[in-house]
Chains A and B, each alone.
Chain A
Amino acid sequence: DGGITQSPKYLFRKEGQNVTLSCEQNLNHDAMYWYRQDPGQGLRLIYYSQIVNDFQKGDIAEGYSVSREKKESFPLTVTSAQKNPTAFYLCATSKGQGATDTQYFGPGTRLTVL
C-alpha cells in the first residue's frame, strides 16, 4: 500500500521537552516537506529536502530541526526553543523539485503542548 505515513496522529508534550514527529514515504519521491497549520492561517513551510543528506529552511524554521538520512524518511524535531509549538503538522512529498510537481500530503500529526 503506497503512501505517506505520519506518526503519531496525536502527540502531547510538556513545556521544555523536545519531540520528534515521524514522516515515512514509499512513493520513491525525491523531495519532502514539513508544514505547520494553524487555524485561519493556512499552511506555512518549516523545512524541505530535495535529496538525501540535504535540506533547507522554509519560512518558519526557528525552533525546529530535521534530518534526511534516508530517501524514505524525513523526521521533524520540535525543540524547546519553539515558543508556540501547538499546531497540526503536515508532511508532504513530490516526485521532483519542479514547480509542476504535485505535492502529496500525509494525514498529519496534531501536537499539543501542555
Chain B
Amino acid sequence: AQSVTQLDSQVPVFEEAPVELRCNYSSSVSVYLFWYVQYPNQGLQLLLKYLSGSTLVKGINGFEAEFNKSQTSFHLRKPSVHISDTAEYFCAVTDWSSGSARQLTFGSGTQLTVLP
C-alpha cells in the first residue's frame, strides 16, 4: 500500500524568501507523484507532476519539485514567494499496486502562509 507524509502542517515565510514544502512517500513499486494547490473554499489545482524522466520537474507559478528515489521524497520549492502563494499544498502519489484502478493517495496538506 502507498502512503504520503507531509512533514510540516504549517509553513510561514516572508514575501520574496525561498520556501521548501516537504513530502515523503512510501510504496513498494514505481510511483507517480503530484503536487496540488488549494486556495480557500476552492477545488485543487495541479501544480506539477512527476511521471518519468528528469527528476527535476517544473510547474506553474514558478514552483518546481525534485524526485529523489533513494530518499523517497518529492519536495516542492520556490525561490521567491509572493503573497498570492498563500494556500494549502497537497502532495499525492499513485502506483499500479491497486490493480486496474487508478487511485490517488494524498498527504494531509501543508498550509503555506506568506507574510508581508
Binding site for B on A (CB under 8 A): 4, 6, 31, 40-45, 48, 50, 56, 58, 90, 92, 94, 97-108, 110
Binds A, one of B13-21, B37-45, B79-87: B37-45
Measured in the bound complex, the distance between the Cα atoms of B105 and A42 in whole Å is 9
- Contact in complex: A42, B108 (CB < 8 Å): yes
Which residues of B3-35 have CB atoms within 8 Å of chain A's CB atoms? 4, 9, 32, 34
- Contact in complex: B103, A45 (CB < 8 Å): yes
Residues of B within 8 A of A98 (CB): 102
- Contact in complex: B43, A43 (CB < 8 Å): no
CB of B57 within 8 A of chain A?
no
Binding site for A on B (CB under 8 A): 4, 9, 32, 34, 36, 41-46, 49, 51, 90, 94-96, 100-104, 106-109
Residues of A within 8 A of B32 (CB): 99-100
Residues of B within 8 A of A97 (CB): 100-102
- Contact in complex: B43, A40 (CB < 8 Å): no
Which 9 residue pairs across A and B have the least CB separation, nearest first?
A105-B43, A42-B106, A105-B44, A43-B106, A42-B108, A107-B43, A99-B94, A97-B102, A100-B51
- Contact in complex: B107, A90 (CB < 8 Å): no
Which one, B36, B101, B106, contacts A56 given CB within 8 A?
B101
Question: Known: A97-B102, A99-B32. Contact between A106 and B107, CB under 8 A?
Answer: no
Which one, A45, A92, A104, A108, contacts B41 given CB within 8 A?
A108
- Contact in complex: A45, B104 (CB < 8 Å): yes
Please give 5 more A-B residue pairs, beta carbons under 8 A apart, in addition to A31-B102, A40-B109, A44-B106.
Answer: A42-B4, A42-B107, A42-B108, A97-B100, A101-B102
- Contact in complex: B95, A102 (CB < 8 Å): no
